Amino acid sequence: MRRNPREAEESNRQLNRRTLMLGGAMGAMVAVLGVRMRYLQVEQADEFKLLAEENRISIRLIPPDRGLIRDRSGKLIANNEQNYRVVITREAAGDAELVLRRLVRVIPMTPEEVERAIEEVKSLSAFVPVTVAERLSWTDFSKVALNAPALPGVTPEVGLSRKYPLDTDFAHVVGYVGPVSEKDLEGLQSPDPLLRIPKFQIGKIGVEKWMEDTLRGHAGTKRIEVNSAGRVMRELERQEGDAGADIRLTIDAGVQNFAQARLGTESAAVVVMDVSNGDIICCASAPSFDPNLFVRGISHTDYKVLMENDHRPLANKTVSGAYPPGSTFKMVTALAALEAGVITPETRVRCPGYIEYGGRRFHCWKRGGHGSVGLVRSLSESCDVYYYDIAQKVGIDKIAEMGRRLGLGQRFDMPMSAITEGIMPDKQWKLEKHKQDWRIGDTINASIGQGYVLTSPLQLAVMTARIASGRAVAPRLVRMVRDQELPVPEAPPLEIPPEFLAAVRGGMNEVVNGDHGTGKSSRVVDPTMIFAGKSGTSQVRNISKAEREAGVISNDDLPWNRRDHALFVGFAPFDAPRYAVAVVVEHGGGGGAVAGPIARDVILRAMSDGLPSLEAYPSSQRGRIESMLKELPLRDPETGIVPTKTET
Amino acid sequence: MSFLEYRVKQAPTGLRKVLYLNWPLVVLVTAVAAVGFLMLYSIAGGSLEPWALRQMQVFGLGMGLMFGIALVPIWFWRSMAGVAYLIAFLLLLVVEFFGTVGMGAQRWIDLGFIRLQPSEMMKFTLVMMLAAYYDWLDPKRVSRPLYVLIPVLLTVAPTVLVLLQPNLGTSLMLLLAGGAVMFAAGVSLWYFGAVIGVAVGAVVGVFTLRGTPWQFLHDYQYKRIDTFLDPTADPLGAGYNIIQAQIALGSGGWGGKGYMQGTQSRLNFLPEKHTDFIFTTLAEEFGFVGAFSLLVLYALIIGFCLVAALRNRDRFSALLILGVAANFFFYIAVNLSMVMGMAPVVGVPLPLLSYGGSAMLVLLVGFGLVQSAHVHRPR
């Protein structure tokens, strides 16, 4: 490879030329890279920094503690209880299935629960904790903690969950919470981001639902750093939210419990109201159910039992039940007639046991008739004919107007579910609803609270409170929010001449305290607590002519669901009314005999500190009352436990 | 006086050769490799395991190799060029048929203690072969078609084998390195113009044939090109790597987030962060200052090589140094273009920084040849 030096020199020069060209190209490329670097890292830096932050930071919500619900004196009705639960993380567990099988030997879990947990653990990312068991007892919980070395990946945790310590007593009023459903989210314009938290619990019915915004509070946030797989690396910043506001109801838990126990297994409702400010002292519907079942997620069998019970435990009969008021409506007819001037308290009507109108006979409950009847006796002995007569004179429209002034046929705004409006019919109503003209027969039926008239126990309590106080008091259920007393607007006067109200109240006094009163078995002898009221027995069926001719069939001989409703409204003390009460016992029979004693016991309980004193009862009833009170399954005020009946 | 004798007389002998090494180059290479150790340590979350320690061991071994090769006279290596090329080529054939399949590609022979990648070997043997060829060839004949065809075949044959593995990145590197040596050797610029024209035509062809049974590239390679053209189109799939890499780079800003503070790499948003995308971690943690400094170090290495080539009057030596330097440069250029979103993601490591034994050893062997050429240059 010998070359002549000139040629070698020439080729070497060319090599150097090309080397420099290559070097130049490389230099240019390095410059381009440098410029690109500057563009990305200096000019675009802020944008990319933002993107890197977005990558890394995730904002999580901290659910606020739900506000507590207490009774009027502060007793807990809805509480946030420590919820001991066990979570498992697949990543830390290794073989999650094996660990779960071991866990079953430590805590009680059904095979289905285990299967569900295994499935959930497998379907989620390895580092996502899955709740395996909830609401463990402290013993089970500590067992898990003790066995921790054998249970890798299993962590015992403490959270809060809703608990209703007075379970059945407030099921209808307070309702319950449950996990957010698709239905809850429907129609919400911009739902609270909290609702997107899996298993977040919101109010489903009752106060829990209607006061949701107050009780829920506002979410806190924490900024956390996550890696590319979404695993939380650390918490960067935490901003606590606002806990939900505690609320206090107007209800007295003691009275409520007494009423619930007193109603027992009847399908019944009782409402007690403070006549001065409308505070609902008691609002009990029987039979009841345990709302705690719903918080946990009610089992299919439990739900079926509740649904199939013909006494409808899930219904809140106090506000949702619409019943023909029967004779408890007579005060409305009487006041309408008095105000219209068609009668005075002294006007007398002759009752032969029936009246005939348009070829039809309208019977008084007393077949033989009451003879000559005035206002007071028409109430105390509940003469129907008296009302048939005066109702025709005053007309349905005035009766309906009086009914509405007393609170019937309208919906009161309270934080409860399914509040019924009832029906206070008039001519216009029938034309719109049934496309028919009002008939006098309709007026006759309506005058004694039958026919189209429907009222809820709450409305009856309001009506009674208004008659007792002379003011248009409205019911209220919430007394305090976040330790602030809610203002009570002063109820406007009813504008019914006081002498008319006094006359009607006098009649109600005779019902209970008169010698022939239909409610005389509900008498109170304590002079500071004299009870006055009105009974009602409303038919739920038409009595056919054949039946009437065959003789009146005793209620006891009828199937339960065709028996009369028993109603009673009342107030006490008679001379200075404090509380009004309304009782409806579905298919209970006679109002005076069945509903009256319940109304008396509950209103006495409301006026007493603890169980009503036996002194308040007529001496002839004391023995029976004493044993009845002793038998009541009342909740222990200290422990909250309801005694189970023991056979003696 | 034969050429050989002339050189023997002039070259240093024995251990004195050590003094004649291109020491700035050694220092620069070590400095860049040290940056690599730092980054691997950081990427492992502040741990020598699993990458930094092994990388340091390989680097130590590689430095030993480099010095060993440097002390052997360059004319010995020139005489070995043909044999080395042949061995590498045969090994490429072997892996084509018997190689271990990894990451969807046949790339290495498992020798038990090390996984031999013939494609890596081919990088310096091709350069050696071409340098030897042009040393032998009369410079006047360099541009004659027949004598152009020979080096083209020498380059294209291994390139095709590597492409079939399939390893797009390395085959591209071989092509570029071969082209660079031919360019330096003085092949007429017309040829290069023609090749560029054909390449443009081929690109058009590749895209035209896409989706047909005769399509030229694997689907994942097509996808990489699509992603390059519009990384945002598939931000969670194919475009994820490049978007996250740019976020890491850009969020480093001027001064970086600090050593071991890179959120993108520490929280695993970065892909392949210890291999092809190692530069993104560096840029995130040390910012523009750090990234640009690295670029300067690389430029200095290439610069020293170019100066060494210019000062070397032996044609084989100069071409060899140029070939190694060009190869080194292409790796840097393609890798940095790739992570900075200027080129498709083709899977080319960043020399001296990316974790990988074979690549590191081959690189240091290449620098060993450069040193040998430098030490034994005619004076």
Q: Is the pLDDT of residue B106 over 60?
A: no
- Distance CA(A316)–CA(B116), nearest Å, equals 82
Q: Is the pLDDT of residue B1 over 50?
A: no
Residue B334: CB atoms within 10 Å: 22
Please tell me the predicted confidence (pLDDT) of residue A114: 81
Nearest CB to A33; choose among B183, B184, B295:
B295
Phi and psi at A569, nearest 5°, equal -120, 150
- Distance CA(A435)–CA(B1), nearest Å, equals 133
Residue pairs between chains A and B whose CB atoms are closer than 8 Å: 143
- Distance CA(A533)–CA(A597), nearest Å, equals 11
Interface test with A, best of B2, B251, B317 (most A CBs within 10 A): B251
Q: Is the pLDDT of residue B7 over 90?
A: no
Which pLDDT band, with edges at 50, 70 and 90, does A124 fall under? confident
Which pLDDT band, with edges at 50, 70 and 90, does B104 fall under? very low
Nearest CB to B288; choose among A1, A32, A42:
A42
Mean pLDDT of A51-62: 78
CA distance A124 to chain B (A): 19
Q: Which of B301, B369, B353, B372 is nearest to B126 (CA)?
A: B369
Nearest CB to B180; choose among A2, A22, A47:
A22
CA distance A316 to chain B (A): 53
Is any Cβ of chain B less than 8 angstroms from the Cβ of A226? yes
Q: Is the bond preceding residue B349 a cis peptide, omega within 30 degrees?
A: no
- Distance CA(A331)–CA(A106), nearest Å, equals 66
> What one-letter code names the amino acid at A129?
P
Interface test with B, best of A35, A38, A41 (most B CBs within 10 A): A41
Helix (H, G, I), strand (E, B) or coil at A148: helix
Chain A environment of B336 (Cβ under 8 Å): 33, 37
Poorest-confidence range of A26-40, A232-246, A368-382, B122-136? A232-246
Contact status, residue A296 vs residue A321, Cβ threshold 8 Å: no
Residue with tokens 């089970």: A140
Contact status, residue A443 vs residue A395, Cβ threshold 8 Å: yes
Q: Is the pLDDT of residue A51 over 80?
A: yes
Mean pLDDT of A577-600: 93
User: DSSP string of B257-298?
Assistant: S-TT--HHHHTT-SSSTTTTTHHHHHHHHHHHHHHHHHHHHH
Poorest-confidence range of A351-365, A472-486, B105-119? B105-119
- Distance CA(B163)–CA(B158), nearest Å, equals 8
Residues B196-252 have pLDDT tens digits of 998 898 888 887 877 777 776 777 777 767 766 666 666 666 567 778 888 888 888
Q: How is residue A298 written in tokens?
A: 């009610």
Give the N- to C-terminal CA distance of chain A in Å, as an integer. 128
Flag if A228 and B268 touch (Cβ within 8 Å): yes
Interface test with B, best of A6, A32, A37, A39 (most B CBs within 10 A): A37
Please tell me the predicted confidence (pLDDT) of residue A546: 61
Write out residues 47-66 of A within 8 Å (CB-CB) of B. Answer: 47-49, 51-53, 55-56
Flag if B139 and A27 touch (Cβ within 8 Å): no
- Distance CA(B148)–CA(B139), nearest Å, equals 12
CA distance B75 to chain A (A): 13
Chain B environment of A37 (Cβ under 8 Å): 249, 283, 288, 291-292, 295, 336, 340
> What is the average pLDDT value for chain A, to the nearest integer?
88
Please tell me the predicted confidence (pLDDT) of residue A481: 93
Please tell me the predicted confidence (pLDDT) of residue B165: 79
Residue A613: CB atoms within 10 Å: 13
Which pLDDT band, with edges at 50, 70 and 90, does B2 fall under? very low
Please tell me the predicted confidence (pLDDT) of residue A647: 41
- DSSP letter at A40? I
Mean pLDDT of A372-389: 93
Nearest CB to B184; choose among A22, A42, A52:
A22
Write out residues 356-415 of A within 8 Å (CB-CB) of B. Answer: none
What CA dihedral angle connects A146, A149, A150 and A152, to 10 degrees? Answer: 120
Residues B149-197 have pLDDT tens digits of 999 999 999 999 888 877 888 898 999 999 999 999 989 899 999 989 9
Flag if A40 and B267 touch (Cβ within 8 Å): no
CA distance B308 to chain A (A): 11
Flag if B139 and A1 touch (Cβ within 8 Å): no
Helix ranges restricted to H, A312-438: 317-320, 330-340, 375-380, 384-394, 396-405, 427-434
- Distance CA(A127)–CA(A290), nearest Å, equals 37
The complex's ipTM? 0.89
Q: Answer left, alpha or beta for residue B232, where phi above 0 means left and psi between -120 and 50 means alpha.
A: alpha
Contact status, residue A37 vs residue B283, Cβ threshold 8 Å: yes
Nearest CB to B247; choose among A37, A55, A227:
A55
Please tell me the predicted confidence (pLDDT) of residue B125: 94
Mean pLDDT of A532-556: 73
Contact status, residue B276 vs residue B343, Cβ threshold 8 Å: no
Flag if B183 and A26 touch (Cβ within 8 Å): no
Residue A186: CB atoms within 10 Å: 8
Please tell me the predicted confidence (pLDDT) of residue B14: 76
> What one-letter code names the amino acid at A3?
R
Which pLDDT band, with edges at 50, 70 and 90, does A511 fall under? very high
Calculate ∠ Cα B13-B18-B22, nearest 5°: 115
Flag if A41 and B267 touch (Cβ within 8 Å): no
Q: Is the pLDDT of residue A542 over 70?
A: no
Please tell me the predicted confidence (pLDDT) of residue A119: 82
Which pLDDT band, with edges at 50, 70 and 90, does A148 fall under? confident
Q: Answer left, alpha or beta for residue A647, where phi above 0 means left and psi between -120 and 50 means alpha.
A: beta
- Distance CA(B274)–CA(B262), nearest Å, equals 13
Where in chain A are the domains?
81-162, 326-407+421-455
Which pLDDT band, with edges at 50, 70 and 90, does A554 fall under? low
Flag if A1 and B251 touch (Cβ within 8 Å): no
Residues A408-441 have pLDDT tens digits of 999 999 999 889 999 999 999 999 999 999 999 9
One CATH from 3.40.50.720, 3.40.710.10, 3.20.20.70, 3.90.1150.10 for A326-407+421-455: 3.40.710.10
Contact status, residue B254 vs residue A48, Cβ threshold 8 Å: no
Question: A81-162: what CATH class?
Answer: alpha beta
Chain B environment of A42 (Cβ under 8 Å): 253-254, 288
Q: Is the pLDDT of residue A581 over 90?
A: yes
The residues with which A363 forms a beta bridge, in sequence order, are A354
Poorest-confidence range of A367-371, A469-473, B342-346? B342-346
Residues A169-192 have pLDDT tens digits of 999 999 999 888 877 777 776 677
Flag if B267 and A56 touch (Cβ within 8 Å): yes
Residue A58 falls in the annotated catalytic set: no
- Distance CA(B218)–CA(B209), nearest Å, equals 12
Please tell me the predicted confidence (pLDDT) of residue B114: 63
- DSSP letter at A511? H
Helix ranges restricted to H, A57-110: 90-93, 96-104
Residues B283-319 have pLDDT tens digits of 999 999 999 999 999 999 999 999 999 999 889 999 9
Mean pLDDT of A265-279: 94
Q: Which long-range contacts (CB under 8 A, 24 or more apart) does A138-145 make?
A: A138/A84, A140/A84, A140/A106, A140/A107, A140/A108, A141/A84, A141/A86, A143/A106, A143/A107, A144/A86, A144/A103, A144/A106, A144/A107
Interface test with B, best of A21, A33, A49, A56 (most B CBs within 10 A): A33
User: DSSP string of A557-598?
Assistant: GS-GGGSPEEEEEEEESSSS--EEEEEEETT---IIIIIHHH
Residues B29-67 have pLDDT tens digits of 999 999 999 999 998 888 888 889 999 999 999 999 999
Mean pLDDT of A260-285: 94
Q: List the helix and strand counts (H, then E) for chain A.
A: 25, 21
Please tell me the predicted confidence (pLDDT) of residue B236: 61
Flag if A40 and B329 touch (Cβ within 8 Å): no
Which pLDDT band, with edges at 50, 70 and 90, does A543 fall under? low
Flag if A52 and B3 touch (Cβ within 8 Å): no
Q: Is the bond preceding residue A287 a cis peptide, omega within 30 degrees?
A: yes
Q: How is residue B226 written in tokens?
A: 């699509």
CA distance A128 to chain B (A): 17
Give the N- to C-terminal CA distance of chain B in Å, as an integer. 15
Q: Which of B284, B280, B281, B291 is nearest to B252 (CA)?
A: B284
Calculate ∠ Cα A148-A154-A159, nearest 5°: 110
Higher per-residue pLDDT: B2 or A95: A95
- DSSP letter at A326? G
Find the catalytic residue in A161, A285, A288, A327: A327
Flag if A11 and B315 touch (Cβ within 8 Å): yes
Mean pLDDT of B84-99: 85
> What one-letter code names the amino acid at A558?
L
Flag if B138 and A3 touch (Cβ within 8 Å): yes
Which pLDDT band, with edges at 50, 70 and 90, does A161 fall under? confident
Contact status, residue A169 vs residue A260, Cβ threshold 8 Å: yes
Q: Which residues contact A560 (CB under 8 A, 6 or more apart)?
A: A310, A587
**Using N-to-C axis directions, what is the helix angle for B278-311 and B315-339, rounded to 10°?**
160
Q: What b/e string do you get for A203-225 counting C-beta neighbours within 10 Å, with b at 16 or more?
A: bbbbbbbbbbebbbbebbbbebb
Chain A environment of B252 (Cβ under 8 Å): 41, 45
Q: Which of A207, A169, A166, A175 is nearest to A479 (CA)?
A: A207
Please tell me the predicted confidence (pLDDT) of residue A36: 92
Flag if A41 and B283 touch (Cβ within 8 Å): yes
Q: Which of A343, A398, A386 is nearest to A362 (CA)?
A: A386
Is any Cβ of chain B less than 8 angstroms from the Cβ of A13? no
**Using N-to-C axis directions, what is the helix angle for B118-136 and B357-375, rounded to 10°?**
20
Which pLDDT band, with edges at 50, 70 and 90, does A501 fall under? very high
Contact status, residue A568 vs residue A538, Cβ threshold 8 Å: no
CA B297 from centroid of its chain's CA atoms = 16
Nearest CB to B252; choose among A21, A33, A41:
A41
Higher per-residue pLDDT: B357 or B88: B88
Contact status, residue A516 vs residue A378, Cβ threshold 8 Å: no
The residues with which A162 forms a beta bridge, in sequence order, are A80
